Amino acid sequence: MQSNTSPQFNHGGHELFDVHEVLSTTVGALNKFTMLRPKVQDQELLDILDRQYQFMQQEYNTTVDCFRSGQDPAVPTQTYMMKQDNQFTYGLKPSQPKKPIQSEAEINDEIISGFMLGAVKSIASIKTIAAMETTNPVVRRVLADSIPNCIEMGYEISIYQNKKGYYQVPQLMVTDMQQILQSYAPAAEPVAAH
């Protein structure tokens, strides 16, 4: 078997298919954000959608750049910074059961934020898989560095959903929480070899 060491062709077969999936999934997310944007009612959600769209688009371009060249991208991976605080409201309140919508007219901010969260979760998952299969060191680093951005975007959306009552966070009783929190202890220091 002949090995081509040019950076442009410094990719394994699994990597090519997995990065193809990353890029396809990202294109799908960007398309979904574009289609949903005109239906957003809440200005805060629109701000999140626009900021995340712009960030995902730049990250997509960075990935395409290093994937095609095999070298450092012109624009390195950036860090996504959400505007939300990290305050969650805990507990469950009575609400209507969820069910599939019957028409496009029913699409609202709750559904849109759910689509957004699903999209960034999908990207995070596929990027993690791709980073584990990538042989090109630059592409692997770009993918690995971008995963925390997906996590941050998902966290931002879930905080928004929680604040609006779309996503409720149950908690265990304090005694049960304490029991679980105290069920692990630090590992002992290894004994030094003499």
* Burial status of residue 54 (CB atoms within 10 A of its CB: 0-12, 13-18, 19 or more): exposed
Provide CATH code, domain 7-91+107-181. 1.20.1260.10
- Give the pLDDT means over successive 10-residue stretches in the chain (194 positions): 62 88 97 98 98 98 95 95 88 89 95 98 97 94 97 97 93 91 90 73
Whether the CB-CB separation of 160 and 113 falls below 8 Å is answered with yes
Segment 174-193, tens digit of pLDDT: 999 999 999 999 998 888 76
Among candidate residues 55, 65, 77, the one with its CA nearest the CA of residue 141:
77
Question: What does DSSP assign to residue 9?
Answer: G
For residue 74, what are its two tokens? 């012109």
Q: What is the value of pTM for the model shown?
A: 0.88
